[in-house]
Amino acid sequence: MKLRTWGLLIILVAIVLACGGGDDEEPIPPLDPELGKSYFFLQQGKYREYNVYEIRYYAVDISDTFTYQLREEVGEPFSSGGQVSHIMNRYVRDDDTQPWELDSVWSARIEGDKAISVENNIPFVKMTFPADISRTWDRNLLNSREAQVTSMLNFDSNFTVGLNTFLETAEIEISNDEDGITFRDIRREVYRDSIGLIYKFYDQVKLCSRQECLGQQIVESGRLYREELYAHGKIDEED
């Protein structure tokens, strides 16, 4: 009996040692909580300039097409409700032969694990940190609109805008929803480390669902908007 007992004990020890063989591997470290914050770039004096293409649809076969340039400047910080935000001055012009004219003033901040942009007095959660493609969040968490599940499609990857390929980008998918019959809602934004937003694409339209045009992808109302970065830098370093 003693020999049998010792034999069973030896077998049990061997099983335990075999099961614990993977304990020598280094555990996966947690993500740095600051990861991704430099993509939502809020350095005072930074500017970004974009080429904008926009179509506004009013009815079937009735629309306006606009091409213009947009400039965004990160202004001085200010404190409100215990949070530090930056003024975002936004200018527009038809093309580079025209002077910039002030169009609107937004604000932006990083609050804890959220990047927040206040656009025409409506706050949106643009990103959450640490950046992780497995995470989702509600873009409309801080406003009264219907919840909008948002996710990060890619992080620290390449993205091409026009003739330029940017490294270290984060691609955000706001919506990728369409039924092919009544509506289309496709929205994405791309941010580059130490630059900020480099690309925005919004295609939010209602499709004609009357019998004569049902299923033909004919736009009845809505907007298509594309914004592409073409220049960026520091205001005090401009020629």
Is residue 237 helix, strand or coil? helix
Query: If you search the block for the tokens 């959450």, which residue do you land on?
Result: 128
Please give the Cα distance from 42 to 110 (Å, whole number).
9
Interval 162-172 mean pLDDT: 94
Determine contact, residues 172/155, Cβ cutoff 8 Å: no
Q: How confident is the model at residue 54 (pLDDT cuts 50, 70, 90)?
A: very high
- The DSSP output letter for 109 is E
pTM: 0.86
Tokens coding 95: 């093309």
CATH number of 37-233: 2.40.360
- The DSSP output letter for 96 is T
Interval 206-227 mean pLDDT: 91
Please give the Cα distance from 52 to 66 (Å, whole number).
8
Determine contact, residues 128/113, Cβ cutoff 8 Å: yes
The pLDDT mean for the chain works out to: 90
Question: What CA–CA distances, in Å, run from 108 to 85, 88, 133, 193, 205?
Answer: 5, 7, 23, 16, 27
pLDDT tens figures, 59-112? 999 999 999 999 999 999 999 888 999 999 999 999 999 999 999 999 999 999
pLDDT tens figures, 175-188? 999 998 999 999 99
3 has a pLDDT exceeding 50:
no
Is residue 196 helix, strand or coil? strand
